[in-house]
Structure 1
C-alpha cells in the first residue's frame, strides 16, 4: 500500500532506461510534459482519465527549497499552493487577506536517535536520563510554533496500532541527574549530536543542547550534508542524531519495523542499531496476522518495550500544512504529505 509502489509500463521503462524519469508513462489525471532538473516539472491534463478530466488543464510543480521563498512566492501570486510552510512563516500567510493556511495532523514523527553501539549509550539509564532531561513541550512551542503534539510513541495517533497508553517521558531534570548518577556519569558526559542542514532540526538541536547541559551532558552539534549524514548514520559513526519518519501506509508495521527490527540495522532504517529478539518476534506476528485486534496487541506491546528501552526518543508529531491562494478550490492534503492536485482548480 506504499504509494511508491506504482504499476509501470514495462515497454516504456525498458525503452527509456536510466532516462525514464524524463519520459514517464502513466494512467493518472495528468500527462508528463517536461522536467527541468532542480527547477520544475510541467504536466498537462489527461482527457481520458478514468475518473473524468481534471478541472485544471496545466499543473507546474516547482522546487523552491528555501522555506521563506515559498511563502514569498505565495505573497506575490507567483505560486498558487505552497507545501510545508515553515513555522516562522505561518503568520505571513495567516495575516494575508488573499491567502489561506491549512493545517492538519500527519503521519510523521520527529525523533532523537541513540547509537546503541556506543559505550556511553548502551545503558538504558543514560537514554532514559536524556529523555527526562528534554522538555518536548518547549520544542513543540518554540520550534514548531505550536504546530506539533508531544509524543509518547514512535508512531502517532493517525497510524493504525498506535498505543495511547505507551510510556511518556515527562520533563524531570532531577530524575535525569539521578539516572545518570546510577549509570556512573555523575561527573558528566560528552556526546556529539548529528543533524543535517534543516532549520527545524537545527533549532531542536540547540534547545536539546541547552537542556542537556543543565543535567551535566555536554553536547556538540555537528551539521552534515544530507548524503554524508545518511552514510555516516548507516555506518554508525554518530552518537546522537535527529531524524523524522513518516508511516506512509498508515499502518504500525511501516512505522515500527524499519526503525526497530534488528534485520534493518543501519541504512535500512534502524540507525540506532537496536536489537531485541522479542520485538523482532512481535513485528513478524503483527505483519503476519490478518486479525486487526490481534495485530493491535502485538504493536501495543512493541511500543511499550521501545518506550521503556528508548533506542529513539520520539519528540513530537508535527502537523502538516499548505498555504494557498483563496482563489484555489478543491485541494485536499494527504496525511503522508504526498498531496494530489486532481480536483483542484482556481476561481477568477
Structure 2
C-alpha cells in the first residue's frame, strides 16, 4: 500500500524458471504462463499466429554478447591470435541464419542507444584469410586449437556449431565445452580457462558501464574483467572519462577507449541484444525496458 511508485495493480507476480524452451512455450500456450521471451526459433511462428501476433513486443536492449579471450594465457596472450579469432566469425551471416531478429551484429562494446555508440564503426568483419595470416605471424601457421566454455543450452549449441565451421575455415579448431554457468564463471574468476562465451548487461545507461568493468585492470575476475586484460592507456582513458563532466568530451574519450579495445581484441564482440516477448491476450500494461532494473511491473493488470 505504501510503495513509493503507488500501489501495484497486482497483488503479486510469480516468476518461474524453465530452462527448456519447448516446455516454456508449451506452458504459455496452455495458459499457465502469462508472458514468455521468444527465441529465434519461436519468433516466426508467433508472428504469423493470429492469436498472438498483436501481443508481441520488442525492444533493443543493452545486452552485449561476446567470446572472452584470456589475455594472460597462451595462445591469447598474443594480440595477433586474439585478432585472428575476431576476424574468423561472420556475425552478419549468423544474424541472418541463426539468431535472426533476436540479435544485432556487434562492432564494438558500446551498444546502440547509449551515448558513444557509433553506427559507422567498422569493427571486425569476416576475413578467414586475414585470420590465417595473423596466426602464421604469431607462430601458428599450422592452425590453432582452443576450447570455448559456455552454459549448457541448446541455444548456445545452435549458435556455436556454425561458428565452429567459420573458425575451421580460418585454420582454427574451436572445441565447445558445455558447463554449468556458475561453475564456468568461477573458473573465469580464478583465471583458469582460455575462452568463454557470456554476455554483459547495463546496470546504468552509460557506456562507462561497458568499459570500466570489462576492460580496466582494477576489475580482474568477478569485477567484470574476466579476460584479465590489462592496458595502461585504456586504464588511463577510462579514469579520465570518469572524471570528465562535459558530454562531448566524455564521448570522444569513449571512442578512443573503444578503438584501443578493438585493436587489442580481448573479446570477440558478437551481438547486441534484441528482446522479444509475447503476452497472453488478457495481460494489460506490459512494457519492455532496456535495463532490467527499470522494470517494476507495477503497471500490469489482467483483464477479465
Shorter-chain TM range is: over 0.9
Q: How does 1:266-281 map to 2 (within 5 A)?
A: 266-281=221-236
Contact 1:257 1:283 in 2 (8 A): yes
For 1:214, the equivalent position in structure 2 comes to 169
Aligned positions, number: 301
Contact 1:107 1:248 in 2 (8 A): no
> SS of the residue aligned with 1:251?
coil
Query: Which of 274, 284, 287 in structure 2 is aligned with 1:329?
Result: 284
Query: Which of 323, 329, 341 in structure 1 is aligned with 2:297?
Result: 341
TM (normalized to structure 1)?
Answer: 0.81
Query: Which of 33, 36, 41 in structure 2 is aligned with 1:88?
Result: 41
Query: Which of 298, 315, 322 in structure 1 is aligned with 2:270?
Result: 315
Contact 1:193 1:241 in 2 (8 A): yes
Contact 1:74 1:81 in 2 (8 A): yes
Deviation at 1:205, TM superposition (A): 2.2
For 1:137, the equivalent position in structure 2 comes to 92
Q: How does 1:125-164 map to 2 (within 5 A)?
A: 125-164=80-119
Query: Which of 46, 68, 77 in structure 1 is aligned with 2:31?
Result: 77
Asked if 1:186 is matched to 2:141, the reply is yes
Question: Which sits farther off after the overlay, 311-320 or 71-80?
Answer: 71-80
Q: How does 1:234-253 map to 2 (within 5 A)?
A: 234-253=189-208
Point out where structure 1 has 5 or more consecutive residues left out of the alignment: 1-45
For 2:64, the equivalent position in structure 1 comes to 109
Deviation at 1:239, TM superposition (A): 1.7
Asked if 1:54 is matched to 2:12, the reply is no
> SS of the residue aligned with 2:176?
strand
The structure number with the bigger radius of gyration is: 1
Deviation at 1:243, TM superposition (A): 0.7
**Structure 2: how far apart are the matches of 1:215 and 1:166?**
24
Query: Which of 207, 212, 216 in structure 2 is aligned with 1:257?
Result: 212
Q: Bigger relative contact order, structure 1 or 2, given CA contacts below 8 A and separation 6+?
A: 2
Deviation at 1:267, TM superposition (A): 2.2
For 2:256, the equivalent position in structure 1 comes to 301
